[in-house]
Amino acid sequence: MAAKTLTIDGTQISAENHITVLQAATEAGVKIPTLCHLEGVYDVGACRLCLVEVKGTAKLLPACTTRVYEGMEVATDSERLRKYRRMTLELLFAERNHVCAVCVSNGHCELQTLAYSLGMDHVRYDYCSPKWGVDATHRLFGMDHNRCILCTRCVRACWHIEGAGTKNVAGRGGKSMIITDLNEPWGNSETCTACGKCVSACPTGALSAKGSTVSEMQHDRSKLEFIVNAREKKQWSV
């Protein structure tokens, strides 16, 4: 496998062919903020938090879906990137109803953590305050669309780790929503195995264990990584 030589933030590194800028940066110890990226499933470039500057390209590119190439020059941190990342975060907060203080994931939320780390102390855009509901029909889990950022981690975990294919995305634009089967109440789903991988994958309080109270929901991502690693490395072969 041919290696590519590129620079990230001025440091020359060597990366395997066909890996993404995000992977290369992670291997080189450079942290790029992400939300929709989830170890173990493919990337979709949905959240736009991992945007980077690539020399020779005017557009900002998502690190999670951009492949490395020979001689590539990547900048992961600049005034322009910080501005766009913060704007993206503010738009995410403005789009639905994210009220950290009373959220089940308060203190354990990737969206909240990013907002803190990027210095987002207020939202400059008008809140959309849409009327989204809560699907509490499942006996174990709840889905609060108010807190969903449409990262589709749950969909990818459901299809590609569990293989159940229960979760999907319906609608377009701001009216997009995560659905169960053909938009059935979650509790009525015949395909859901109640494995909870979608809940583990969720970066916010959108998916939670039923009965969770404020700050109680902690998503355990390590189980997903454990399963994916075991499968890919044939640890379960007999």
Partner 1 sequence: MSQRIVIDPVTRIEGHAKISVFVDDAGNVSGAEFHVVEFRGFEKFCEGRPYTEMPGITPRICGICPVSHLLASAKAGDAIMAVNIPVAADKLRRLMNLGQLVQSHALSFFHLSAPDFLLGWDSPAAQRNVFGLIANHADLARAGIRLRQFGQEIIEVLGARKIHPAWAVPGGVRSPLSKEGAEKIRAWLPEAFATTRTALDLFKRVLSTHQHEVQLYGNFPSLFMGLVAADGGWEHHGGNLRFMDSSGSIIADQIAPKDYLSVIGESVQDNSYLKSPYYLPLGSTDGVYRVGPLARLNICTHMGVSQADAELKNFKSFGHGAVTSSFLYHYARLIEILASLEWIERYLDDADLFSQDLRADAGINSLRGVGASEAPRGTLFHDYTVDRNGLLQKVNLIVATGQNNLAMNRTVAQIAQHFARGPEITEAMLNRIEHGIRCYDPCLSCSTHAAGRMALLVRMIAPDGRVLHEVRRD
Member of 1, 2, 58, 101 binding partner 1 (CB under 8 A):
101
Q: Does 218 bind partner 1 (CB under 8 A)?
A: no
Which residues in the 109-138 window bind partner 1 by CB under 8 A? 133-134, 136-137
**Which conformational region is residue 212 in: left (phi greater than 0), alpha (psi within -120 to 50 degrees), or beta?**
beta
Give the span between the Cα atoms of 172 and 217, in whole angstroms.
Answer: 29
Distant-in-sequence, close-in-space partners of 116: CB < 8 Å, separation ≥ 6 = none
Specify the residue, 3 or 99, whose C-beta has the smaller distance to partner 1. Answer: 99
Minimum separation from the CB atom of position 108 to partner 1 (A) = 13
Least Å distance, CB 132 to partner 1, is 9
Q: Is 213 in the site for partner 1 (CB under 8 A)?
A: yes
CB-wise, 65 or 97, nearer to partner 1? 97
Return the number of the residue (65 or 215) whose C-beta is nearest partner 1.
Answer: 215
Q: Which of residues 172-191 bind partner 1 (CB under 8 A)?
A: 187
Whether 44 contacts 36, CB under 8 Å: yes
Binding site for partner 1 (CB under 8 A): 101-102, 104, 133-134, 136-137, 142, 187, 210-215
